[in-house]
Structure 1
Amino acid sequence: MHKTEKRSVYDYDDLRRLIAPEVVAVVGASSTPGSFGERTLSNMRGFSGKVFGVNPKYTEAAGFRCFPSISELPTTPDCVIIALAAPFVEDVIRECAKCNVGGVIVFASGFAETGTEENKAAQQRIIDLGRETGVRIVGPNCVGLVNTTLGAGLNFMPNFYKTKLIDGPVSVISQSGGLGYTLFQGMERGIGISKYLASGNSCDVDVCDYISFLADDPGTKVIVCLLEGVKDGDRFVEAAQKAYDRGKPLLVYKMGVGELSSKTAMSHTGTMVGSREAFDAAIARTGAIAINRLDGLLEAANFFARAGVPRSGKGVGVLATSGGAAVVTADKAEEHGVVLPPLAQKTAEKLGEIVPGFGSVANPSDLTAEVLKTKESFVGCFDAFAEDPSFDAIIVPLVFASPESSGARTPLMCEMARKTGLPIVGIWMNDWLEGPGSEVLDADTRACIFRSSDRCFETIALWQEWHRRRNLPKDKKAGARLSPEGAADKARQIFDSMAPGAKSLDETKAKQLLAEYGIAPLKEAFAATAEDAVREAGKIGYPVAMKIVSPDILHKTEVGGVKLGIPDEASLRAAVEEMFKSVSAKLPQTKIDGVVVQEMAPNGVELVVGATIDAQFGPLIAVGLGGVMVELLKDTAVRLAPLTPADVSEMLEGLKCYPLLTGFRGSEPVDLAALIDLIVRFSEFVSDMPDRIAEVDVNPVIVTPDRAVCVDALIAVNNKKQEG
């Protein structure tokens, strides 16, 4: 099968004529009701530019002038929509290329999505045609696009032209045309959306290109992406990083996060790191924001677009008129790590003048229904909260839906949002989801609404964290390697010395390889016989540990291949003979090379440092609580390699076991600097060898107050032939 050349993402100018056209032509124009050609022309009725139909059978279709071919149009179209069956698509694209068209949108299905070789070949031909001619192609199998700013319905969605288009700062990208369109229909609630971009089969233009375009689009402040998967993780990272650098939040809802692969992992890391972890690692690298639910995604995007930058980064204030609502918000704030700071003295004094004695002057407050009797009372409470320097936003639970309650309060909330400059957020705590006043908050350009306390505080936590990260100083050591010069060349020589077909490096070679990167193991030596073991143990000093050496045994403890605390020469001789006999009995076909005699590991905190190679995103580093606990407790942090010291610090601080490293219940803190150094060097090794390794475990890494040492290592190799 032909392999498409890898490329960088398209930029704004590459896609401008396609997504923000001045002239549009619809090939397959028709007046037949319900046909794609008729629907598309109808959906272009509000377009601010020029629209032409192309069909030799008509001079007019759906109210637009029609011409026999693209070459006979009075002016060159920027965007051509192909509303024809699959067999006609290729010839139309060729004509578009001759006429210098900017881009095409292909509705037709019947290409690679069918899975047949014939149809995959047909899609490959239009891919090649786009690459050769420079015509950008959306689709095939695509519902089309929307540019609300221009009134352009570049799609065949039924009755789209009846939709009241509302421009706004949020743009939506979706691989699934139908699912993405459900978000676009948020305009029916009064929510403004700048652009809706579907990608279909993504034969040329894909979600990564759309992200790149919107990163420079002046009409977009926040990007929402509904993602099924990416063909090239590097391009996704490139596009997401571009959006982050431009200061545009990228909210990603990832579908299909279950582990679809049927592989049997060889290492602890391989067991722990799947598609979800790989995606989250890419998100962490780029500063994008993972949203793990479709419902409320548009509410979160609107909040990011309307809220601006947190004032203090300290917390939020809750103005409730119900004690129960106050308790609910306090629970959800704690669950999502959002701080509800105590009221400043001045704030408390002002509230005390308004709130009746049976209320609660606190945060969350319970203003009681008394403050709703007059506008002045409600606004006075807002004024007091708005002046409190600890609050980044003010949350108002809306419990009763009625014209007199929610209907009266929401306009005041919008007014206060403009007056104070703070994000004013209503939590709609009522099952009348579109009750009086909800439409006011949906449509406002400053105030926001969430129909869930949980989603509200989850979004606020993400918002505060996103801005906190952007304010961090850049890691000055990000470009400096810690590994010795020439380490990669020496590592490849070790891989080249392996026996053909071997699944993994033996422990001795694995540690030798890591040592080339400056990751020092405990004192140890290989021994082929009991006599050799006794001799080496004499050099190391008793007590010693002993482990079986075999390229066929990945987890030594499971076959009795580890002995600890061997006190003397006689015990060592007996232990060697017993281990050889026991392992051979359990695994009679296994090749045993000998044993490793090793100094006993010091007491300390045990961690696992591992790696896998993800098909989309490449090398992934995992760090977690070590030994056999890694799979049981699932306390693991995963990031894309290579790592900087700042990356590693963030990973460690995110572990539940982090207090064990900093001194827990009187224990001495470990040498974090040594641990960070080891993990950075390990990540450099993995980044250098993605074609040689499949999975890696350094387990355990033991960290003490004065060092970090590698006790055991497993390196499973990639024996697959690399594609040319």
Structure 2
Amino acid sequence: MTLISDDGSSRTQESDVRPSPSLERVLNPSTIAVVGLSDKSPVAPFIEPTLDSDAEVFFVHPTAPTVLGKPTYRTIADIAEPIDAVLSVMSAERTVTLAEECATLDCGGLVIYAAGFSEVGADGEDLQRRLAAAAQRGGMAVIGPNSLGYISVPRSLNLTASADYRPPAGGVSIVSHSGAMIGGIAIAARARTGMGISRLISAGNEVTTDMADYVDFLASDPETAAVGLIVEGIRRPEEFLRAARRCIAAGKPIVALKLARNSRTQQMAASHTGALAGSAWAYDVAFRHAGIQLAHDLEELVDRLSLVGQLDPAKWNKVERLGVVAGTGGFASLAYDLAEAEGLVLPPLDDLADWVRSTIPGITVPNPLDTTGFGATFWTDIVDRYVGSPELEAVVFVNMWGEGDDSPMYRRLIDDVAVAARRFGKPVAIAAGAGPVGAYAQDVIGSDGSVALGYGLRGTLRGLHTMGTFVRDRGTPRPPADAVTPVPRPTGPLPDAGDGRSFLPFTQAMALLDRFGISTAPHCTVDTGEQVEPGFAGPYAVKLADVPHRTELGAVALDVGRDDLERAVADIRAIAQQHGLPETVAIQPMTAARGELLVGIEGRSELGPMVVLGIGGILVEVLERVGGRPAPLTHTDAVALIDEFRDLRLMHGYRGSEPWHLAQLADLLVGFGQLAAACHGWIESLDVNPLLVTEDGLVAVDALCIVRDTEGNR
């Protein structure tokens, strides 16, 4: 995909860029200098486990002779060898002085706890500029400032101000803009038997090193099997999405939790698109398109990553047909409901139906299977038949095997599952009815990636859904969109939308649509003193041309005959005079329609321009539902976007009605994507509402295009 930046330059999607050597040194250090720590420091116990790592740790303190039992250096310059990671536990100002000293030495970079930088205003911004300048001079990576540092669990590297929660080691790495949430992740991981953490990284203010850098690093990190992100905002979207694609191409699923989602509810008075397609919505759209899956709280984030962190990637599949074997009827019923809610399909298993009916008295439903009272008797055969069934791609076994149920019988049941999983090479999960599976189960199944232990039924199903979605998305080719040539912003004064923002006049907006192959209705405009000669047959729609909300002003007249046209134009012009508005009047032929669509562009997104689609007219406000894709779109993107509305049964046809010209709609969406990318430097938002669905095709009768000012400010 080629995108167009605000300055008009093209930006290519693919890259062979690898993580910076300085970040590699900081996150995989052989030598560490901890500066400013004393034995009395409240974070000393959190850092102390680092002494058990394979890295050489030096302590720098101006007065304390020892720290954590080790002799100190008075300054960092006194350490004779290169330092990969410098951890500062000092104030903001003293940390900046330290960074400026490190810039003259051989240091990979710094980990900085201190607050008091850009987040506090002008004084802090000056410190942050000095810090960034020092990092640039020294070629150093900086984790933070205003960060809780990082933890590498397998290496026992605790360069962190977060409590030592001691999560189990594993393959899941987390990067969080919110420092405190790495502690929440560690706590959640400890609660899940089998879940393991590789790295916990608190990004902080991202003075030099940001989310894109961390994801790029993790794409090549051999200790990371899956990635979780807790995101406030992405500073460099192109680089971030490129890094995410590298990570996914390396076989590492990414799940993201987007914070500050309430921005979607902020109403933008001039634009339906702006009201419905806010910041969080744009992140959801761009993340899904890039193959990044979504979570909505920490528990869900951990659940979605837990199973992929445990199962051997060689056993992953699309999980399009899931089997559930339950220890009770209640769990069987709940499993069916939750699987449906999580988008997983439990097929009826026709090939097992006769065997189930003849083997397990009173049971007629093979999937989910209720083994109440008979499971122990037929268990080994049940496990073999379900795990080995060619109709199933994955199987969940759910029972009340929690921490207090470490019985020989349960161990035997779990062992049978593990044996079958290894034999058939299929993803298999064991779930307790609620909460974690007992820790004894880990001893039974081992750690060869044949069986995963879930957390409750819903958490287990979410983990399988994440695995299946990753395999499906990764296997779906994503051809690049066509390159786009930038279109310059129109020159000259533009009408005011009434809130200080400008918009394109009616004729310019319609011409822009025509330029990108978006069908528009015939139209003409009449200025003061001009003769009213539309050049097309009526009846007519007459409206003020260059106002954003003409309906609210009563400045629209419909079904106007030719004899009444001049009077209608005069009446509309009088409304403009009454409100001090431009007096240009637009005339169009009335267009019969059997449906309406909203198609728009959201240009304010931090992740680049978005194309927005929804049911138009008043239904866009009633349904409050829109879909979208990052611009520019491929035809495949457009078809997939249209298909998201199939459940509404409007544009796809209902009660024998014809679909809404879906092939043409796909072409128009591609055109909107080209328009959005080409004009990204100056379009803030664009609404075509309605895009009319006529018997002959789709036609735009109006467009509201909000424009940034001449400096490109949003």
**Same fold? TM cut 0.5:** yes
Measured in 2, the distance between the counterparts of 1:61 and 1:592 equals 75
Shifted more, 8-17 versus 621-630: the winner is: 8-17
Q: For 1:167, which of 153, 166, 169 is the aligned residue? A: 169
Measured in 1, the distance between the counterparts of 2:644 and 2:376 equals 43
The answer to whether the Cα contact below 8 Å between 1:192 and 1:443 also exists between their aligned partners in 2 is no
Q: For 1:52, which of 49, 58, 62 is the aligned residue? A: 58
Alignment of 1:338-487 (within 5 A): 338-345=344-351, 347-352=352-357, 355-373=359-377, 377-399=378-400, 401=402, 402-404=405-407, 409-430=413-434, 445-475=449-479, 478-479=481-482
Shift of the 41–248 alpha-carbon distance from structure 1 to 2, 3 Å rule, reads closer
Alignment of 1:291-690 (within 5 A): 291-307=295-311, 308=313, 310-311=316-317, 313-345=319-351, 347-352=352-357, 355-373=359-377, 377-399=378-400, 401=402, 402-404=405-407, 409-430=413-434, 445-475=449-479, 478-479=481-482, 488-489=487-488, 492-493=489-490, 495-496=491-492, 498=494, 503-528=502-527, 532-533=531-532, 535-536=533-534, 539-549=535-545, 551=546, 553-566=547-560, 568-581=561-574, 583-584=575-576, 588-656=578-646, 659-690=649-680
| Displacement after TM superposition at 1:633 (Å) | 0.9
| Displacement after TM superposition at 1:390 (Å) | 2.7
Measured in 2, the distance between the counterparts of 1:717 and 1:436 equals 59
Unpaired segments of 5 or more residues in structure 2?
1-8
Measured in 2, the distance between the counterparts of 1:243 and 1:256 equals 25
Query: What's 1:25 paired with?
Result: 33
Measured in 2, the distance between the counterparts of 1:283 and 1:76 equals 39
Shift of the 50–560 alpha-carbon distance from structure 1 to 2, 3 Å rule, reads same
Query: What's 2:148 paired with?
Result: 143
Structure 2 residue 238 is the aligned partner of structure 1 residue 234:
yes
The answer to whether the Cα contact below 8 Å between 1:314 and 1:341 also exists between their aligned partners in 2 is no
Q: Which amino acid aligns with 2:477?
A: P
Measured in 2, the distance between the counterparts of 1:426 and 1:362 equals 18
The answer to whether the Cα contact below 8 Å between 1:325 and 1:399 also exists between their aligned partners in 2 is no
The answer to whether the Cα contact below 8 Å between 1:360 and 1:367 also exists between their aligned partners in 2 is no
Query: What's 1:13 paired with?
Result: 21
Q: For 1:155, which of 157, 160, 164 is the aligned residue? A: 160
| Displacement after TM superposition at 1:525 (Å) | 1.4
Query: What's 1:3 paired with?
Result: none
* TM-score, scaled to structure 1: 0.87
Measured in 2, the distance between the counterparts of 1:506 and 1:27 equals 61
Q: For 1:39, which of 45, 48, 63 is the aligned residue? A: 45
The answer to whether the Cα contact below 8 Å between 1:312 and 1:389 also exists between their aligned partners in 2 is no
Identity of aligned residues (%): 27
| Displacement after TM superposition at 1:378 (Å) | 1.7
Measured in 1, the distance between the counterparts of 2:250 and 2:424 equals 26
Query: What's 2:218 paired with?
Result: 214
The CA RMSD over aligned residues, in Å, is 3.1
The answer to whether the Cα contact below 8 Å between 1:29 and 1:66 also exists between their aligned partners in 2 is no
Structure 2 residue 183 is the aligned partner of structure 1 residue 177:
no
Query: What's 1:75 paired with?
Result: 81
Shift of the 272–456 alpha-carbon distance from structure 1 to 2, 3 Å rule, reads same
Query: What's 2:691 paired with?
Result: 701
Query: What's 1:718 paired with?
Result: 708
Matched position secondary structure for 2:86 = strand
The answer to whether the Cα contact below 8 Å between 2:328 and 2:399 also exists between their aligned partners in 1 is no
Q: Which amino acid aligns with 1:470?
A: R
The CA deviation string for residues 452-501 of structure 1, in whole angstroms up to 9 with x for no partner, is 433433443343233212212333x62255xxx7x825xx34x5463687
Matched position secondary structure for 1:329 = helix
The answer to whether the Cα contact below 8 Å between 1:695 and 1:716 also exists between their aligned partners in 2 is yes
Shift of the 442–643 alpha-carbon distance from structure 1 to 2, 3 Å rule, reads farther
| Displacement after TM superposition at 1:443 (Å) | 8.3
The CA deviation string for residues 20-56 of structure 1, in whole angstroms up to 9 with x for no partner, is 11111212243x24444x4365221210121222234
Query: What's 2:280 paired with?
Result: 276
Shift of the 10–91 alpha-carbon distance from structure 1 to 2, 3 Å rule, reads farther
| Displacement after TM superposition at 1:112 (Å) | 2.5
| Displacement after TM superposition at 1:620 (Å) | 1.9
| Displacement after TM superposition at 1:515 (Å) | 1.6
The CA deviation string for residues 248-287 of structure 1, in whole angstroms up to 9 with x for no partner, is 1111111211117866330111111112211112202311
| Displacement after TM superposition at 1:713 (Å) | 0.9
The answer to whether the Cα contact below 8 Å between 2:22 and 2:109 also exists between their aligned partners in 1 is no
The answer to whether the Cα contact below 8 Å between 1:407 and 1:436 also exists between their aligned partners in 2 is no
Measured in 1, the distance between the counterparts of 2:65 and 2:507 equals 80
Measured in 1, the distance between the counterparts of 2:164 and 2:321 equals 45
The answer to whether the Cα contact below 8 Å between 1:28 and 1:55 also exists between their aligned partners in 2 is yes
Measured in 1, the distance between the counterparts of 2:444 and 2:521 equals 63
Shift of the 350–15 alpha-carbon distance from structure 1 to 2, 3 Å rule, reads farther
Measured in 2, the distance between the counterparts of 1:704 and 1:246 equals 47
Shift of the 390–615 alpha-carbon distance from structure 1 to 2, 3 Å rule, reads same
Measured in 1, the distance between the counterparts of 2:65 and 2:126 equals 35
The answer to whether the Cα contact below 8 Å between 1:517 and 1:682 also exists between their aligned partners in 2 is yes
Shift of the 262–125 alpha-carbon distance from structure 1 to 2, 3 Å rule, reads farther
Matched position secondary structure for 2:261 = coil
Q: Which amino acid aligns with 1:522?
A: A
Matched position secondary structure for 2:366 = coil
The answer to whether the Cα contact below 8 Å between 1:29 and 1:41 also exists between their aligned partners in 2 is no
The CA deviation string for residues 544-595 of structure 1, in whole angstroms up to 9 with x for no partner, is 322222x3x21222222333333x32233443344444x35xx822324232
Q: Which amino acid aligns with 1:608?
A: L
Unpaired segments of 5 or more residues in structure 1?
1-5
The CA deviation string for residues 182-229 of structure 1, in whole angstroms up to 9 with x for no partner, is 212424755321111112222222222111110111111100112222
The CA deviation string for residues 93-148 of structure 1, in whole angstroms up to 9 with x for no partner, is 233222211111112223223x1321221122101111222111111222221122
Shift of the 496–645 alpha-carbon distance from structure 1 to 2, 3 Å rule, reads farther
Measured in 1, the distance between the counterparts of 2:326 and 2:455 equals 16
Q: Which amino acid aligns with 2:96?
A: E
| Displacement after TM superposition at 1:364 (Å) | 1.1
* TM-score, scaled to structure 2: 0.89
Measured in 2, the distance between the counterparts of 1:707 and 1:41 equals 67
| Displacement after TM superposition at 1:415 (Å) | 4.0
Highest RCO, 1 vs 2 (Cα 8 Å, sep ≥ 6): 2
Measured in 1, the distance between the counterparts of 2:712 and 2:678 equals 15
Shifted more, 392-401 versus 402-411: the winner is: 402-411
Measured in 2, the distance between the counterparts of 1:418 and 1:34 equals 50
Shift of the 282–441 alpha-carbon distance from structure 1 to 2, 3 Å rule, reads farther
Measured in 2, the distance between the counterparts of 1:89 and 1:332 equals 51
| Displacement after TM superposition at 1:245 (Å) | 2.7
The answer to whether the Cα contact below 8 Å between 1:171 and 1:224 also exists between their aligned partners in 2 is yes
Query: What's 2:99 paired with?
Result: 93
Measured in 2, the distance between the counterparts of 1:179 and 1:641 equals 32
The answer to whether the Cα contact below 8 Å between 1:251 and 1:290 also exists between their aligned partners in 2 is yes
Alignment of 1:196-207 (within 5 A): 196-207=200-211
The CA deviation string for residues 674-715 of structure 1, in whole angstroms up to 9 with x for no partner, is 222222112222222233222211111123464322111111
Query: What's 2:199 paired with?
Result: 195
Measured in 2, the distance between the counterparts of 1:595 and 1:175 equals 51
Q: Which amino acid aligns with 2:518?
A: I
Measured in 1, the distance between the counterparts of 2:530 and 2:214 equals 67
Q: For 2:135, which of 130, 134, 144 is the aligned residue? A: 130
